[in-house]
Structure 1
């Protein structure tokens, strides 16, 4: 599905970074692991700040566009085609992990998120934004499956080894290309790996 969705000339989620990520990017340290990097807008932005970025995504088509965007901006990012259901990041390696609208079934999150915590260095940061379960009634983006959407309780349960710096649910205007557009209900989380 994602190869097909990305197989157009335009960047379907735009080329500018997610606004929540941009607002808090100064908290991030490299190397940064970016989950579901897609067409590269977030990884390229982080690379422009001087951070080393490793973007993973299941779509080779998306990551080819990510590399093109990086070249056009004069930065480098590392990309890897990976199925997040079986992806195992290197332990104790990353300064930060970024997950922007990376909606995954709970069965995958249960395997992946402990590995995400493990891959962070001590005091490493995870920054996540996802649509909340309340987004089901909105027509402004995101999956139509509550299992793939987030709640505050899910975040707390699924990242037990990260101390919340910020954890909130809110409605905000999301303007990110043709698939994320309009007022949306989101969960935002910034957590620091416990010592």
Structure 2
């Protein structure tokens, strides 16, 4: 899919007054609240209509939110305004975006599974690049078992995550925690029902790390 095709596809999915994945934050992200502090800088990758970026801003973080869809970004800005918070919501094709270097205390990627393996490798590398030394990475996605549930996510098995894939991709990080589990989720109309989830928490090595 070309960038123009991807933009048109996601604009079409977000072309509705309702929020496709709801307005509440992702449950995994919400469970990480104790790891977050006000005034941290955070990048919300492919943040769609802003549910996660706005929640992060409501916790006092300084949020940059990206998505390829202009319609999604407009809705993210509207959601932030309704909650009285500031979010730097930007339209960005993440495979072409000029990713900042060592700029963020936290990088969040929730269901960033539109990316086939070669693009995913680049995005994972750039997520790590964007973190400051000692920065926190929070990632959630679907496992291959999700194809049997059909309750959200891509239809391409190669876009889904396994524990081996994530541990290999982030082997250069510290404190890596990977959790696989099934859970009922309700995230708008886009993610509803029993889901095969996988979470990663990891820290970019700080100064002096081997």
Given the two structures, how large is their TM-score scaled by the length of structure 2?
0.89
How far apart, in 2, do the equivalents of 1:93 and 1:181 lie?
34
Partner deviation per Cα, 1:25-82 (whole Å, 9 max, x = no partner): 2313521000111001000000001100001111010010000000000001001111
Equivalent residue in structure 2 for 1:40, among 7, 25, 50: 50
Alignment partner, residue 6 of structure 1:
14
Whether contact under 8 Å (1:117, 1:161) holds in the other structure is no
The reply to whether residue 163 of structure 1 matches residue 174 of structure 2 is yes
Matched residues, number: 195
Higher CA-based Rg:
2
Given the two structures, how large is their TM-score scaled by the length of structure 1?
0.96
> Which runs of 5 or more structure 1 residues have no equivalent in the other structure?
none
Give the deviation of 1:143 after TM superposition.
0.5
Partner deviation per Cα, 1:141-183 (whole Å, 9 max, x = no partner): 1101011111111111222322244211110111101110001
Give the deviation of 1:85 after TM superposition.
1.7
Give the deviation of 1:126 after TM superposition.
0.4
> Which runs of 5 or more structure 2 residues have no equivalent in the other structure?
1-8
Give the 5 Å matches for 1:31-70.
31-70=41-80
How far apart, in 1, do the equivalents of 2:157 and 2:91 lie?
26
